[in-house]
Structure 1
Amino acid sequence: MEVSICPLTLSDITDEFVSWHQNSDGHLDFYTGDRRSFSREKLISWIENAEERNTFFYMIMVNQNIPVGTIKIGPIDMNNKTSDLACLIGNRRYVGKGLASRAITQANHVAFQKYDVRRLQSGMYENNIASIKAYCRAGWFIEAIMKGYYWVDGAPIDRVCVACFNPEYFLEG
């Protein structure tokens, strides 16, 4: 399957897209950290106000015409040239097929080249092994583990912090 990313537009906020952001099956627990769902209105607001918050949303496409998820770059700290990057494979039929790492790799390039980001970071539940592996396959590394960061069902869960550096700013050797 060919994977690509393209800027998300308001016309992309279809019923299917909105369904990806409903947490009826617990899938978003791994995406949001606070286990919430998002309404159509909230999703539209994100897109409409994204640029003023230095946040940019991309649709993950398979075979150039099947939307399967989203990538969020931002908010970008323009002073420090750093940004979060979050990936969601929303269409559950495409989860576990290796698409996230390929989309993250493309998003790394966009963040570094288009937005001049020096450093990307993200974090996830320690038990979200698939996400940790997807980021690491996309050139990221585990930077830290924050003990007991999340509180889920009455128990602490560690946060695995991952990062990726723009090679134009971080020379090896």
Structure 2
Amino acid sequence: MEAMYNKNLEKVEKQDGCVFSVYTASDQTHIGVCDYRDVNLVTRTATIGISIGHKDYWNKGYGTDVIQTLVCDLFKRMNLRRIQLDTWSGNERAIRAYEKCGFSIEGILKENEYVNGKYYDTIIMGLLRKNSM
């Protein structure tokens, strides 16, 4: 993953982001994806996302580890100063993981998401480089 990340990092000025597959270290099981996008090299910002789709790996710290690794790389290698994300208010597990990694809620878009027949708020979260290290 690191070699692929470094290769794609060289192209970041020509593209809007990158998607990575997430595997377990122990047995190389594919458990999800993460990405960064909307890179703005002038303001030094980007948006991230993560999905641990394999439910057997929920609540075991994989999501937190992926977020921390991605954030560290974006701040250090790309010299970003701000990273943001959004999720729906019903995704409490993700919100806790983001907060554990230093993200804070910056805004709420009321009833902006429609999931399983119900409206939820969109939660906007952000992290500044100075607050993460």
* Residue of structure 2 aligned with 1:161, choices 124, 128, 132: 124
Unaligned runs of 5+ in 2: none
CA distance 1:115–1:144, shift in 2 (3 Å):
same
What count of residue pairs does the alignment treat as equivalent?
126
Task: For residue 54 of structure 1, report the CA deviation from its aligned partner.
Answer: 2.7
Shift of 1:110: 0.5
Unaligned regions of 5+ residues in structure 1, if any?
Answer: 10-46
**Taking structure 2 as the reference length, what is the TM-score of the superposition?**
0.79
Percent identity for Structure 1 against Structure 2: 19
Report the aligned-residue RMSD: 2.6
| Matches for 1:123-142 after TM superposition, within 5 Å | 123-142=86-105
Aligned residue number for residue 15 of structure 2:
53
Q: Of the candidates 83, 88, 99, which is equivalent to residue 46 of structure 2?
A: 83
**TM-score of the aligned structures, taking structure 1 as reference length:** 0.63
- Cα gap change, 1:158/1:113 in structure 2, threshold over 3 Å: closer, same or farther? same
Greater C-alpha radius of gyration: 1
- The residue that corresponds to 1:18 in the other structure is none
Partners of 1:146 and 1:136 lie apart in 2 by: 18
Bigger Cα displacement from structure 2, 154-163 vs 121-130: 154-163
1:108 maps to 2:71: yes
* 1:156 CA drift (Å): 2.8
The answer to which structure has the higher strand fraction is: 2
Kindly state the Cα deviation for residue 65 of structure 1 after the two structures are TM-superposed. Answer: 4.5
CA gap 1:156/1:99 in 2 versus in 1, 3 angstroms: same
Change (3 A) 1:76 1:64: farther
